[in-house]
Amino acid sequence: MSTTTTPPATERDADLGWHLGVLLRGYHATVATTLADVPHGPRGYQVLVSVVQGDQPTQLALAEHHGIDRTVMTYLVDDLVAAGLVERQQNPTDRRARRVVATADGRRRLDGWARAVHDAEEQLLQMLSDDERSTFRHLARRVACDLRDIDSGTDPCAVGPRQSPERGSGGPAASSSARA
């Protein structure tokens, strides 16, 4: 018979939800200041990253990938267009659809923001050794990707409160962190 016992779920050291909440709030606070000049802050940055990677060519695909209401995504892309970071182009394979494509300035500015985000993330995780940070990033990515693959039809908005389709100012209500 084993003498090892599992601590009660109410103990803070066993409360994954509390840990994730603290980490997410810390991440948002650290990265949001770094991305203050990006339309919609961290959310706009993450969408721009996806646009540059080219994996999600349309607004609808971007909205589904990031768990953003499609109406909110329209406003977000409008603001990225107004900032000169992306443009909408005719889809050569479907004239009814428009692709979202990064501009040269959007790619250039993303490089600078990506370095700043990396530095902010390193600051957030400074209490970990280099090996621990690498392991943490790997495990977080693995869990996030595996969860997304379990049920790709799951509405990511169901996990948290749904964004209203009102046009935001780009502040905290208009942005949240999603993918690791």
Q: Is residue 9 part of a domain?
A: no
pLDDT at 54: 87
Residue 162 confidence (pLDDT) above 70: no
pLDDT at 81: 97
13-70, pLDDT tens digit by residue?
778 899 999 999 999 999 999 999 999 999 999 999 999 998 888 899 999 989 899 9
Q: Is residue 136 part of a domain?
A: yes
pLDDT band at residue 172 using 50, 70 and 90 as cut-offs: very low
Per the structure, the complete domain to which residue 103 belongs is given by 19-151
Q: Is residue 111 part of a domain?
A: yes
- Outline where DSSP puts E strands in the chain: 86-91, 94-102
Q: Is residue 40 part of a domain?
A: yes
Tokens standing for residue 47: 């969408």
The domain tally of the chain equals 1
Q: What is the DSSP string of 74-111?
A: HHHHHHHHHTTSEEEEEETTEEEEEEEEE-HHHHHHHH
CA distance 46 to 178: 8
Q: Which of 17, 91, 12 is nearest to 54 (CA)?
A: 91
Would the CA dihedral through 21, 24, 26, 32 be positive or negative?
Answer: negative
- Residue 167: strand, helix, or coil: coil
Residue 154 confidence (pLDDT) above 60: no
Q: Which of 101, 106, 94, 100 is nearest to 37 (CA)?
A: 106
Q: Is residue 10 part of a domain?
A: no
pLDDT band at residue 166 using 50, 70 and 90 as cut-offs: very low
Q: Which residues pair with 91 in a beta bridge?
A: 94
Instruction: Report the predicted TM-score, pTM, of the whole model to 2 decimal places.
Output: 0.73
Q: Is residue 6 part of a domain?
A: no
Q: Is residue 160 part of a domain?
A: no
Q: Is residue 102 part of a domain?
A: yes
We report the CATH number of the domain holding residue 130 as 1.10.10.10
pLDDT at 180: 37
pLDDT band at residue 119 using 50, 70 and 90 as cut-offs: very high
Buried b (16+ CB within 10 A) or exposed e, 72-103: bbbbbbebbbebebbbbeeeeeeeeebbbebb
